A and B are shown apart, each in its own frame.
Chain A
Amino acid sequence: MNADVFLIGGGLTPFGEHWDKNIRTLMDEAMSSAIYAASVTALDIDIIVVANMLGQATNYQSHLGALASSLLPHKPPALRVEAACASGSIAIHTACALLESNKAKTALVIGVEKMTDSDADTIAHALMGAADEEHDQSCSLTFPGIFGLIAQRYMYEYGLTRDELSLISTTHHRHALDNPFAQFRMSVSPEDVSNSSMVADPLRLLDCSPISDGAAACILSTESPKRNSRIRIAASQIANDALSITQRPVLTSFPATKDAMERALKEAAISREEIECIELHDCFSIAALINLEDMGFADPGRAVALYQQQSLPVNSSGGLKACGHPVSATGIKQIIDTAKYLKAENHQWGLAQNFGGAGATCGIHILERTS
């Protein structure tokens, strides 16, 4: 990082089905609570970065930068970024770049998605926009289908069993029990997961993150907050890979995660072992395992052991599975939750990993709590 960037406030709407709220009200709610939590006023915000993927396809609303700007009294400049499910972390990355280059002193980053207004087919098609139009979409494949292919191959190569895979969702649901912002605060047993209805063989309903509405906002600033405990963005890295899974050498690993991880550790100048908590992108249960392996916390095929031993705090918030996955809000929510966890547990280093599509974009942020 070319400048010290601090996370000075964060705000979330609960994730879930918000029939009474639209994009504007969701954004307003998250922005207001982020500004309330921060030590600054709305007028200190120099720029807004909005993350959104589906606004045009499902809500007939693009131009979200202007919409976000109109919610603040002084109408600060605003822009929107998109990288499918990684939009959130790309937005943070963009804001960091603006702050590091001194274009702005304080930036508000907001991710928003309103998904429950559309029927299932519309949403499935819109989400497939995150895959390759030419190579992936023509055979009526869906995103659960893509991860079904990945899971099938993973189970074939490493001998992962159905019961082992069910452990992932069970763990994440248990973590969400205490999270008031989570969409599903209920415990789910491994048997429940294994017996839930089939979505895309071998993935079942409880392997998949839900369709959700929600917004997450955070305020980043180069001006250090006058508090005892501060959260600094120690690393912000993004990496990319071939868009289509047909153009990758292997199915069971995402090289973009590996790239982003190596560079993030280098930027933060820490080793992997120093990281004390992780929020990772578990859009499907199998993705959690692949992410842990790609980030180097487990050998290929062995990540399930981390869940069996409970040896590392992974997705203490409940992850995408239990908290819900309003596509573009997720990356920002992960940062906010990581910061919360660092403060609550008095830890120093936390990591958030967020990817888009089938790992074609990956954003990794490392947060440091300093006192």
Chain B
Amino acid sequence: MTPFTPASLHRQQKNRNRKMQEGTVLSYTVIHTNSHPLAIGLIQLDDGSKILGQLQTTNYKLQIIEIGQRVQPRISLMEVTENGLRRYDVTYEICTTKDSPIKSPAFPGYILSLTGPSGVGKSTISRMLVTMFKDIAPVPIITTRTPKESDNDNEYIYVSKKKFADIQKKGDIVAFAHLEDTDDTRWYGYRAEDIENIWTKGMIPVVITERHLLQGLANHFGRRSILSFGLLPPGRSRRAMLSALLHRLRERGRDSEESIRDRIKHAKKDLAFFEDRKDLFDQLVVTSNLEDIVNIVRRTLPHLA
């Protein structure tokens, strides 16, 4: 057991925000101890991560727990120590609604993902990888934004918001992100079909993601399927990194000053995401030299042609 000290308590508290989510029971058990039975569930939280937590049941015999049931977080008193300190933690209350049963995903294949703030060089690296390796194929992004001259062929599929919502409703879009700007909200998404088609050809799909898209893909295909690279701008501090991004965005001259401001705002959250969800990344790479990145990919995937 974790020692009950102010420091260990503080570390536990840091995780509490993540724990305060609804989720679905993947499996459960009732442990019969000397004092009272204890129901514990393995829960898939709505952000895709999994957690072990006590399940709140009034009476474990009367309330039937089932795999696939929805749960809601509650703060409960876990214990009172000898010197009177009260320890609280998140437990999960069983809801009556039932989710569609989650099947353990079979391992479908690898996806190469490049995640990072706008201007870090995701598209450039993706294009380089696609031209250098025959086995890597890009996945088209469904977007509601208007086409730009600088866009490459086949990189985007442009749709209206209505059309986007329709595809999404059908369940074809497995990962999506709504990026709010001052003037508009841009929607981006990936279709499972596009990725699966690349697999059937025996190739490895490469996707350009940000935090929501990456989480969506990890939820759908399983974290294990994703070979996830986090791309960091050069710089020793967060401020230096943001300034490097600002320079690049201005240099490439594609965006208005206002849009650049929005992008920098998102970039702050993106950089924090590397810290918060370390588990979603296999490697963090600084994009000072693009050749290095290709070499890292080559080293990680030695069989690539």
Contact = CB atoms under 8 A, between A and B. Distances in A.
A246 B49 contact: yes
Contacts of A136: 52
A134 to B, nearest CB: 8
A235 to B, nearest CB: 24
Interface in B96-137: 103-105, 107
Contacts of A138: 2, 12, 52, 89
Interface stretch (A144-152, A170-178, A272-280): A144-152
B212 interface: no
A305 interface: no
A192 interface: no
**What's the interface size class on A, roughly?**
35 or more
B53 interface: yes
B32 to A, nearest CB: 5
B31 A199 contact: yes
B67 A153 contact: yes
Interface string B1-39: 110000000001000000000000011111110000010
Interface string A175-217: 0000000000000000000000111111100000000000000
B251 interface: no
A247 B279 contact: yes
A249 to B, nearest CB: 5
B216 to A, nearest CB: 16
Contacts of B51: 135, 246
Contacts of A151: 29
Contact of B40 (A128, A135, A140): A140
B31 A144 contact: yes
B215 interface: no
A344 interface: no
A112 to B, nearest CB: 25
Contacts of A139: 40, 52-54, 89
B224 interface: yes
Contact of A251 (B31, B49, B104): B104
A94 interface: no
B191 interface: no
A128 B32 contact: no
A153 B26 contact: yes
A284 to B, nearest CB: 11
A199 B89 contact: no
Contacts of B52: 135-136, 138-139, 141, 245-246
A137 B67 contact: no
B1 A128 contact: yes
Contacts of A141: 31, 40, 52
Given A135-B51, A246-B50, A150 B31 contact: no
Contacts of A156: 27, 67
A4 interface: no
Contacts of A197: 32
A246 B29 contact: no
Contacts of B293: none
A223 interface: no
A145 B27 contact: no
13 contacts: A138-B89, A141-B52, A142-B31, A145-B29, A152-B29, A201-B30, A203-B29, A246-B42, A246-B49, A246-B50, A246-B51, A247-B50, A251-B104
Interface of B: 1-2, 12, 26-32, 38, 40-42, 49-54, 67, 89, 103-105, 107, 222-224, 279
Closest CB pairs A-B (n = 3): A148-B29, A153-B27, A201-B30
